[in-house]
Amino acid sequence: MENSVSSLSLGFPPNPTPNIFQVFSFTPSKTQQTRPPRFTTPRKHRTKKVKPFTEKDAFPCSLPLHNKNPIFIYKDIKRFARQNKLKEALTILDYVDQRGIPVDATTFSSVIAACIRTKSLAQGREVHIHIRINGLESNVFLRTKLVQMYTSCGSSEEARKLFDGLPCESVYPWNALLRGTVVSGERQYIELLKTYAEMRALGVQLNVYSFSNVIKSFAGASAFSEGLKTHALLIKNGFVDNYILRTSLIDMYFKCGKVRLACRVFEEIPERDVVAWGAMLAGFAHNRRQREVLEYVRWMVKEGVNPNSVVIAIAVPVIGEVCARRLGQEFHAYVLKTKSYSKQVPVQSALIDMYCKCGDMISARRVFYGSKERNVVCWTALMAGYAVNGKLEQALRSTIWMQQEGFKPDVVTIATVLPVCAQLRALEQGRQIHAYALKRWFLPNVSITSQLMMMYSKCGVVEYSRRLFDNMEERNVISWTAMIDSLIKNGHLCEALGVMRSMQLTKYRPDSVAIARMLSVCGELKLVKLGKEIHGQILKKDFASVPFVSAELINTYGLFGDVNKAKLVFNAVPVKDSITWTALIKAYGYNELYHDAIGLFYHMGASPNHFTFAAILSICDRAGFVDDACRIFNLMPKYKIEASKEHFAILVQLLTRNGQLEKAQRFEQMSSFL
C-alpha cells in the first residue's frame, strides 16, 4: 500500500499485481524478463547507411503512370487527402518538389481540406511551404483556404497575417475566417463576434454562408440575444426564406432553450425536407423532450418523408430512454429493409444502445455480432448495456474482448468502465485502467480524473482520490463534487466540509448534486446554521424543484429534529414523487414519530420504491412493530418490487429481537436464495 501511494504521487497508479482477470496487460514478455542486459561500446567509425528515397516509396500504387503524366500524381495526392492520409500525400509532394514537377491549386486545396478535417497544424504548415515553393501563395483561393486552415487549427495569428493580404471587400476571405473560428471548437464566440461586427462596419455584403457560420457560433455559445438580432437582420436582408439558414435558426433556438421559437420557425417552412425534420428531432432530444421526438417522427413519416441515417441515430436512443421497444423494432426493421443504413456504424451503435436500455440484451448482442464493421463505439455501447442491466463482470470483460479484436479503448470506453470497477470494488482492474489512461495520454481529463476519484473512494482508498484531486491542473463542479462525495462515503465528513468551503472560494458555484452532498454533511454533523444558509442558496437558484435536492433538504431538517420545517419543505414541492415521500417518512422516523411515519406510508401520493420499503421497515424495526413490518413486507409484490437482502435482513433482525425465531429462520432461508 505504501509503495502504491508513493507511485501515485508522481502521477502514475500503483503497479498492478498479477491477476487472472487482468483488463490491460503491462507485464513484459518472457524474453524481456530472462534476457540479461547487453552493454556495447560504440565503434569509432560506424556509419549508418541511409536508404535512398525512390519513386517506389512515394508511389506504391501507380508507379508506371507517373513517369508519363503528372495528372496521375495529382490523383494520388487527392486520393490520399480524401482518406486523411496526410503523411502519404506530403511524401508525394516532397518527391515532386525534388523532381521540379509543379502542383496545381486544386490539388493543394484537397490537402488543405484534409488538414482542416484532422486539425493537423504541423502538416498544414508543410503544405503552406509547398504552396510558397510553387509560387501560388498569392492565389486568392488558396490563401483563403489557408486562412480557414490556420483558424480551424487554433493558430489565429498566422490566419490574420494571411487574411490581411487579401482583398477586404470580398466576402470569401471573411467567410473562411468565420468558418475556421467555428470549426476550431475552442468556444471562440467573442472572436467571431468581433469579426462579424468588423464585416458589418466595413460594409461587406454577407451571404448565406456568412450568416450560417455566425448562427452556428451563437448556437454553440447559447447567445440568444445576438441570435435574435441576427434573425431580425435576416428578415431585413431577405435571407429568412433560405432553407440552410432556417435550419440553423431552429438549431440555435433549441440550443438556447427556446423551444417555442424553434417550432415557430419550423412551422413557417413551406416544404420541409429531412434535414429540417432532423434539426427538430435533434433539438427536442437536446432539451430532453422525448415525447415530442416520437410525435415528430410519426408526423414526419405521415408527411411522406423517409428517415435517413441521421434521423435514425437521433430517434433510436430516445426510444431506448422511454423503453418503447416495439417502436424500436419497427425502426430496426426499416434499417434492415434499407440495407445501406444497416452497414453504418452510428446506426448499429444506436440500435445496440436502444435494445440495452430496453433490457433486451439478446437483441443487442444479435445486432452487435451481426455487424461486420463494428468499432470502438459499438463495443462501448454494448459495454454500457451490460453495466445498465447489472451484468458488471461481462462489462469489464468486454474491455479484454475488444482488445483481442484489435480495438483500443478510447476516452468514452474508459469513462464507461470505471464506474463498473467502482461498483465491483475491483481495485486491481481500476489501477490497470488508470495506468492505461496515463499511457494513452487520456489524462489530465477532468471527466476521467473524476471517475478515477470515485472508483478509488468506492474501493476504500480515499488517499488516492485526494492525490488525484490535488494534482488536477483544472477543476470543475464535477471534480469538486467527486472529491466531496469521496470523503463523505468514507466517513471523512469534516474534511468534506473543508472541501466545500474551499469550493465556495473559487469561481465555481455548486450545482444541484453538490448542494445535495453539502446538505447530507450538514445533516450528519448537525450544522443547523450552515444547513439554513444552503437552504437559502437552494431557493435563490430555484433548486427546490429538483426532486433529490428537496428530498435531501427534508431529510436534513429531519436530522436537525425540526419536523415542522421538513413538512413545510415537503408541502412546497410542486410535484411530489417517491423520493420526497420517502424523505418525509425518514424525517418522522428520526424524531420517533413512528405511527405518523406508518400512516404517511399508507397514504403516499406516489408508488413506493425499493428505498421507501427499506426506510419504513427500518422504522418498524426501531419501534418494534412486528405486525406492521410483516404487513408492509407483504405489500411489496403489489408494487412489483422484489425483496432484497437488505429488506430480509431488517425483518429477520426485528423478528429475532421479538422472540419469533422460527419465523426469522424461515425469512433467513428465503433470503439465501437471492
Please answer whether residues 367 and 355 qualify as being in contact, where contact means their C-beta atoms are separated by less than 8 angstroms: yes
Q: Which of 110, 173, 177 is nearest to 140 (CA)?
A: 173
Q: Mean per-residue pLDDT for 111-118?
A: 90
99 falls within a domain: no
* 278 within some domain: yes
| pLDDT reported for residue 382 | 92
614 in the same domain as 549: no
**Residues 292, 345 within the same domain:** yes
Total number of domains in the chain: 3
The predicted model gives 117-144 an average pLDDT of 89
Instruction: Answer yes or no: is pLDDT of 405 > 60.
Output: yes
Co-location of 523 and 556 in the same domain = yes
Residues 585 and 612 in one domain: no
Residues 579 and 484 in one domain: yes
Query: Does some domain include residue 503?
Result: yes
Give the residue numbers spanning the domain of 565. Answer: 475-591
**Dihedrals φ, ψ of 375, to 5°?**
-135, -165
Q: Name the burial class of residue 542, with classes exposed (0-12), middle (13-18) and buried (19+) by CB atoms within 10 angstroms of its CB.
A: exposed
> CA dist 304 to 145, 242, 272, 296, 299, Å?
40, 22, 10, 12, 9
In whole angstroms, give the CA distance from residue 11 to residue 434.
Answer: 10
Q: In this structure, is residue 186 part of a structural domain?
A: no
Q: How far is CA 272 from CA 213, 301, 564, in A?
A: 22, 12, 56
Do 496 and 558 fall within a single domain?
yes
- Quick check: pTM over 0.85? no
Q: What pLDDT score was predicted for residue 440? A: 86
Same domain, 487 and 553: yes
Range list of H helices, 165-242 = 171-184, 189-202, 208-221, 224-237
Say whether pLDDT at 277 is over 90: yes
CA atoms of 423 and 658, how far apart (whole Å): 35
In this structure, are residues 364 and 329 in contact, taking their beta carbons and an 8 Å threshold? no
pLDDT tier at 187, thresholds 50, 70, 90: low
Q: How would residue 558 be classed by pLDDT, with cut points 50, 70 and 90?
A: very high
Domain with residue 576: its CATH number is 1.25.40.10
* End position of a domain, from candidates 374, 400, 427: 374
585 and 481 belong to one structural domain: yes
Task: Assess contact for 390 and 359: CB atoms under 8 A.
Answer: no
DSSP letters along 464-504, please?
A: HHHHHHHT-SS--HHHHHHHHHHHHHTT-HHHHHHHHHHHH
How far is it, in rounded angstroms, from Cα 416 to Cα 413? 5
Confirm whether 316 is domain-assigned: yes
Same-domain check for residues 654 and 547: no
Q: What's residue 455's pLDDT?
A: 92
Q: Can you read off the three cell numbers belonging to residue 299? A: 408526423
Q: Does 469 map to a domain?
A: no
pLDDT by residue (tens digit) across 3-18? 443 333 334 454 444 3
Give the whole-angstrom CA distance, residue 58 versus residue 97: 12
C-alpha cell, 19: 491477476
Instruction: List, in order, residues 6 or more apart from 16 with CB less than 8 Å away.
Output: 22, 26, 428, 431, 432, 435
Residues 567 and 633 grouped into a single domain: no
Q: Per residue in 604-657, pLDDT tens?
A: 888 888 999 999 999 999 989 999 999 999 999 888 888 888 899 999 999 898
Q: Which three cell numbers stand for residue 557?
A: 431538517
Q: Pick from 558, 591, 624: which residue ends a domain?
A: 591
Alpha helices in 14-103 (DSSP H): 30-34, 55-58, 63-66, 70-82, 86-99
Same structural domain for residues 484 and 563?
A: yes
C-alpha cell at 590: 428520526
CA–chain centroid gap for 292, Å, is 23
- Which of 591, 623, 653 is a domain's end point? 591
User: What are the residue ranges of helices labelled H in 389-527?
Assistant: 392-404, 411-424, 427-439, 446-458, 462-470, 477-489, 493-504, 512-525
- Please determine, for residue 168, whether its predicted confidence score (pLDDT) is greater than 70: no
21 assigned to some structural domain: no
301 in any annotated domain:
yes
Closest CA to 249 of 278, 273, 216: 216
Tell me the C-alpha distance between 26 and 44, whole Å: 37
Same domain assignment for residues 543 and 569: yes
Q: What is the pLDDT of residues 483-500, one digit of tens each?
A: 988 888 888 888 888 888
Long-range (24+ apart) CB contacts under 8 A made by 386-392 are 386/356, 386/361, 387/416, 387/419, 387/420, 387/423, 388/356, 388/357, 389/356, 389/359, 389/361, 391/361, 392/420, 392/423, 392/424
